[in-house]
Structure 1
């Protein structure tokens, strides 16, 4: 008589989820969606934090402005930053400025993406660009007006004027307002609009 063989006991199968219970919920549909949202938020933060700061100045004449910023101030022409495509500026409310601030009515092209011909782009500092658009009214005696809501922008331009040893006249410190003559002896008024 042969002895029966002892039964071999096999351990129950071990699942990876037993060691890492959170891993199971991480790879669920909801977990994958959360991971995708976190990755998207990280990518948007990196994109927006690397985007240059943009100052906008409204001028009465784009051709005169081009001569002033390129010729007299010697600013380098810049590419339009990616975050300004698809009507970024119009969505921020620039198209609905109040005419009381001395600007004529702006074009209402909220459905078409802005093109290079709608403004001028210059590199003001390393990660700062200057966007020149039309829309300001002429000043007294048909003086060219360059109007800006950002004091920091005008201070940078004033520093550029001073470093190029151009003659200027400071009219007011608060709000900042100064006059400069361009190469054609036209008077350009750069004015901060306090909102």
Structure 2
């Protein structure tokens, strides 16, 4: 009898520290689900690749340059950069930032092109190429980026491929590269 009483008291003390009945209550299950969701989001965001964006004046010339000369591998669009989320929400897929007050033909025809090109730059680093840059001096192809690290990586890639290039300025970084068709591509870092 004393042993049974002692076991009952021991289980009561453990029950005070491990409230099993409250863990399996509705509130306890909701807390566990929220904790699991938070952990899943943290794992998803920490494993997401770093993405550098480069605006170019001509997407096809950029494709030839990055795939042909720099030999970058085409990458999948990372989930956190998925652009068609508007369609799942029931909207027409048109970002209001791209629309003018009066819709014109040019405002609606480039919707498919806004996804651009995706390349694997390093192990956990991707390069996102989009249109939007103007042509440079003497109608040069211009590639504009806001990250100096991105342009430094691209310059290293240009040097390793032994392409003709000329560094015009170190800060902000600005260099010229010749492609196979003797087009001059101007790589420009834009300061915020």
Q: Normalization by structure 2: what TM-score? A: 0.76
Of 144, 160, 163, 2:160 maps to 163
The DSSP-based 3-state class of the residue aligned with 1:174 is coil
- Stretches of structure 1 that go unaligned for 5 or more consecutive residues are 1-9, 89-93, 98-105
The DSSP-based 3-state class of the residue aligned with 2:45 is helix
Across the aligned residues of Structure 1 and Structure 2, the Cα RMSD in angstroms comes to 3.0
Of 11, 17, 20, 2:15 maps to 20
Structure index of larger Rg: 1
> Matched residues in 1 for 2:112 and 2:43: separation?
25
> Matched residues in 1 for 2:117 and 2:34: separation?
36
CA contact (8 A) 1:59 1:132 kept: yes
> Matched residues in 1 for 2:34 and 2:57: separation?
44
1:44 deviates by 1.0
Q: Which has the higher helix share?
A: 2
CA contact (8 A) 1:17 1:23 kept: no
The DSSP-based 3-state class of the residue aligned with 2:149 is helix
Q: 1:34 to 1:190 in 2, by over 3 A?
A: same
Q: 1:175 to 1:77 in 2, by over 3 A?
A: same
CA contact (8 A) 1:169 1:178 kept: yes
The DSSP-based 3-state class of the residue aligned with 1:20 is helix
| 1:11-90 matched pairs, under 5 angstroms | 18=12, 19-21=14-16, 22-86=19-83
- Stretches of structure 2 that go unaligned for 5 or more consecutive residues are 86-94, 99-105
> Matched residues in 1 for 2:146 and 2:96: separation?
14
CA contact (8 A) 1:57 1:148 kept: yes
Aligned position for 1:120:
117
> Matched residues in 2 for 1:95 and 1:53: separation?
26
1:115 deviates by 5.7
> Matched residues in 1 for 2:28 and 2:107: separation?
46
> Matched residues in 2 for 1:86 and 1:117: separation?
9
Q: Normalization by structure 1: what TM-score? A: 0.75
